[in-house]
Chains A and B, each alone.
Chain A
Amino acid sequence: MLIRYAWRELRHSPRFCLLFILNLSLGLLGFIALDSLKRSFSDRLQDSARQMMAADLALSSRKPFGNEDLSAVASRLPPGTETQDMLTLYSMVASAQSSALVELKGVSEGYPFYGQIQLENAGVHRGSSALPLLRTAEVWVAPELLIQLDTKVGEALRIGKKDFIIADVIVDDSAASMVGTSMAPRVYIGQDKLLESDLVQFGSTAWRSKLFKLPPDADSKELQTLINKDLKDPGVRIKSYTEAGQDNGRMLGYLSDYLGLVSLVAMALAAIGASYLFRVHLDQRQKSIATLVSLGLTHERASLLYLMQVLALGLFSAILASLLSMGLMPLGAKLLQNLTPVAISPALSWPSYALSLLMGTVGAALVCLPLLARVRLLKPSTLFQEGAGGLAHEAHPGSWVAYLPALVGFYGLAVWQAHSWRVGSLFVGILAIVLCIFVVFALLLLKFLSRIKAGKTLSTRLAITYLHAHRSHTISAFVALGVGATLINLIPQIQHSIQSELQRPEGDGLPSLFLFDIQEDQVEGIQSLLTNEGIKPNSVSPMIMARLTKVNGQPYQRSGKDSEEGGGPETREEEEQQRFRNRGVNLSYRSDLAQAESITEGQFFQKPFAGDGNAIAELSIEERYAERMGFELGDQLSFDVQGLPIEGRVTSLRRVKWNTFQPNFFILMQPGAIDDAPKTFLLTMPEVKDQERALLQKKIVSQFPNVSIIDVSKLVAKITALVEQMALVLVVMGWLTVLTGNIVVFSIAHQQSIFRRWDHNLLKVLGADLKLIMRANLKEFGLLGLATAILGSVLGLLASFIISKVVFKGLWVPSLLLPTALASLLLLVCLLTAYAATRRTLGRKPSLQMDELQG
């Protein structure tokens, strides 16, 4: 019986059904699509990181591994783990014409476990194919090396004491997908053959690695932690692929987090819209409910009747959203593939559909639960009163409990989506606070309106009276519109911040060649060579090798804690940190900030170092490096620059945009302090056409044979394409949120207008001018829209700041244009909706029967 009545009610409420389904299915569609896109980016991120390391886990050391450590690692690795060895070192190699510094990678059978090496002649090499480098004395080389050595495929290359044949040229290498990680062109060689070259001797600087491919269900991060604890030799490092790829990985991570946030916002908007619409639906049905109760239907069964309606609509919305996503996702995937060469293929999974179904039904029921609880408080005795009203509008003590299941459910969803308790709690916390702020402001607004009633025009008085008389409706519309406005503002603000990070500064050209090891006396020569070719270098940076010895007077070889207690490091992390600290650092100096840099704390160098008396040179540190090393403004750092002690004080922290691909040094010293120290120079060249680039390389090498050249043009192009794709996704998602939010705003404004129909009818009956009614209605919605848009914009800006601080590591670049534009849009939607709905009502004949206005 209840099912039949539920169905009948829905059939007679087509507008409510349509708007409810539109709201919920849009939210669910957004959630499914974004979840899939997020997963696709996440997969892409993981794949890219795996390919960069060519394995799941890598064990590495400068010395041969000890048996104890190898046994410890072996005992932790799950059955089915595959292993291979790799040897990496920098060395000079020579052709018949010239010599150059190269990065030698001695690989073994099965390399790479992940990713591929694209060769000019042999095509793609994957780990599954046999590695010809192991059988014959052959090598694969980076294309720029052929130019630098004036040689070609098929010719010999002297490595150590042995000659190798250049068998092929590396066109693309997935293990080299970061710019600036290698300081010389790469050469692939069989590991055994590399050993035969006698380059690796006792005391040679070479990295020995063991690469591991884990079974699919193994957790590399967890294994890394476990193995780390077991390792005895502090010189041995274990690294998971999750650590590979820094900047573009970080940005992909941001994008993934952003998409997660957008999907949560889409769901929150849908929940607000659905909840508001259902509330209005229940209000319109209050007489029916009261009548049913007066006829003997229990309050519980009356609630059940409406719960069934919510479940049916939720189910329909979920099915609709799933069907739409089935149709739209392949289209979206195709579009993404066409737009950029990077493979991002969002695909839908059954768990996504199941989740959508669960959220559509159980989620919708939870959101509407507080409203259903109000049915239990219904007073059917009001049926005996004129203009019957039955549902309790005022807050009932303990009624907040009914909101708990929805809140807990949404909290669970947020935590699941963000994969973080902290981020999930932050989002739900912010949403709850925003909700409370809007309730308080709604009450304040009503109080304020009650005081300014007198002395205004009739339309203004009517508008204010409406808002005041339907207090409960005004509050709920204000809160729903306001939270919607906040969310509409939040996403584009965050989008703007991430996009600003992705944007390259104007005029900062992309590099195509990196030139290393330029001697001081060669700088002028290279620059004039380039000038003759019509090329202006992007940057020329001095590079001084140094070792950090002290921080604030304390020896830096040992941590502060060690020096205080006299003991060694207690944990492996401390040991690792110590090793990192003891590593050599490259210092540089310059008087101006690069276009890609900005000062986040302190002040950049104002003048060259004078070196008077006890003056200490100023230091500018890259902010993330400072965070990792624990450096703060005012810290005094001591360096050993090839035997000479140099002091510096941290006076500024810099943020560096990574996607300019310009060389940037962690530590910059004030000009004049170390200018005379022995140094080499690093030069980057702007984009040059392929053929010109090859010729240029030849000219540089012929005149300056010691200079190493790395061609980064292809890699830069690849990463730039990825960045463009990210920017596209950001923009599309940001505007989709605005669209979804405005549909919710439309639904709310539309229902509010319908709610006013009887009042408008009465005014017409009483002979009110149609323009007067329209003006009053527009003023009412204008006030609601304006107040919520302004407050929503401010709160959206604040929320974006907090979320950016926590989730996006302080990446916050506010835009004032955005809130202004969005607030105007929201106000416009409110006014247009009110106008359209009022026009429709005003077009009807006045009636003395309220029932005639139904439907």
Chain B
Amino acid sequence: MSPLVSVRALSKYFRQGDSTIKVLQNLNFEVLAGETLAIVGQSGSGKSTLLSLLAGLDQPSEGEIRLRDKSLQAMTQAELTRFRGQSIGIIFQQFHLMQSLSALENVLLPLDIAGVSNARELARDALHAVGLSHREDHVPSQLSGGECQRVAIARAFVVKPALLLADEPSGNLDAATGEKVMNLLFEAVQQRGMTLLLVTHDRELAKRCHRQLVLQQGLVGSNN
């Protein structure tokens, strides 16, 4: 079975004045389709940088990321944007919902961008799946943090992406709400057969994934 995500000799450096900061160094790992992988590590270990590279939002300094056997680095910016819109869903710690749009419209957004025909119906289904049908006309400022993150989850999986990237999705929520949101996320991933790459500090949450990738100062500490 060929891996969905394949990371080869991935490195990312940043220049700060005269010195170079090595955020990620020579990472190698693979993720199979339908697998869930937790990326754990201390603050500054490069988790978020890795996620943004996997999402194609940033370019590695060295190495390659392949998704569905396509190299992200070989794609043009436009191809990458289109590919991301269709194949990758992202959930942010700070939700990043459009403040001017209602919950339904926020979920509708990626479908509209992708030009899907029955977009409104799909968005309603997604919102229903996260238990927010009754809040579809509310704008983010009228929703609680947990509700905002559920809208963000719905927005992430509504285009049926092969890969879901989640950056500390419960990091901004209280424990109880966080747990509910994570249950919802794992449920959605399982039901839709998506691959999940989850960045988290929470060891218990990481244990719910098939595998864990521990990052230590930009290097893979363990991969189990």
User: Which residues in A have some Cβ–Cβ distance to B below 8 Å?
Assistant: 1, 5, 8-9, 11-13, 287-288, 290-301, 379-381, 383-385, 388, 851-852, 854-855
Contacts and interface: CB of A to CB of B under 8 A. Distances in A.
Nearest to A380: B57
Interface string B84-118: 11100010111011111100010001101110000
Given A294-B84, A296-B85, A296-B86, A388 B94 contact: yes
The 4 closest A-B pairs by CB, nearest first: A296-B85, A12-B100, A381-B52, A381-B57
Contacts of B55: 294, 381
A300 B85 CA distance: 15
7 contacts: A5-B109, A8-B105, A293-B57, A294-B90, A295-B155, A384-B48, A854-B99
Contacts of B176: none
Interface stretch (B74-82, B189-197, B213-221): B74-82
Given A296-B85, A384-B48, A851 B140 contact: yes
Q: Give the residue among B49, B57, B77, B86 with the most A Cβ atoms within 10 A.
A: B57
B141 A854 contact: yes
A852 B143 CA distance: 11
B58 interface: yes
B109 A292 contact: yes
Contacts of B110: 295-296
Contacts of B153: none
A775 B104 CA distance: 44
Interface string B106-140: 00011011100000000000000000000000001
Contacts of B49: 381, 384
Given A383-B92, A384-B167, A293 B81 contact: yes
Given A1-B113, A379-B58, A296 B82 contact: yes
Contacts of B105: 8
A379 B82 CA distance: 16
Nearest to B77: A299
State which size class the interface on B falls in: 35 or more
A8 B81 contact: no
Nearest to B50: A384
Given A291-B97, A296-B81, 20 more contacts: A1-B112, A8-B101, A8-B105, A288-B98, A288-B100, A292-B109, A292-B113, A296-B84, A296-B113, A296-B159, A297-B85, A298-B77, A298-B78, A301-B113, A379-B58, A381-B49, A381-B52, A383-B96, A384-B93, A388-B94
Contact of A297 (B51, B52, B113, B155): B113
Contacts of A293: 57, 81
A301 B96 CA distance: 19
A379 B57 contact: yes
A292 B49 CA distance: 19
Contacts of B48: 384-385
A291 B96 contact: yes
Contacts of A380: 52, 57
Contacts of B51: 384
A290 B58 CA distance: 12
Contacts of B141: 851-852, 854-855
Q: Which of A5, A298, A383, A384 has the most CB of B within 10 A?
A: A384
A650 B99 CA distance: 77
A299 B101 CA distance: 20
Contacts of B114: 296
B192 to A, nearest CB: 18
Contacts of B92: 383-384
Interface in B42-63: 48-49, 51-52, 55, 57-58
B39 to A, nearest CB: 12
A287 B112 CA distance: 19
A786 B93 CA distance: 43
Contacts of A852: 141
Which of A293, A300, A381 has the most CB atoms of chain B within a 10 A radius of its CB?
A381
Nearest to B87: A296
Nearest to B93: A384
A301 B115 CA distance: 13
A384 B168 CA distance: 10
A597 to B, nearest CB: 67
Interface in B166-191: 167
Nearest to A294: B90
B219 to A, nearest CB: 20
B85 A384 contact: no
A713 to B, nearest CB: 70
Nearest to A387: B94
Contact of B113 (A288, A295, A379, A851): A295
B100 A9 contact: yes
A288 B99 contact: yes
A8 B106 CA distance: 12
A8 B57 contact: no
B80 to A, nearest CB: 10
A292 to B, nearest CB: 7
Contacts of B101: 5, 8
A130 to B, nearest CB: 75
A297 B57 CA distance: 12
Contacts of A851: 99, 140-141
Q: Which of A292, A296, A388 has the most CB of B within 10 A?
A: A296
Contacts of B109: 5, 292, 295
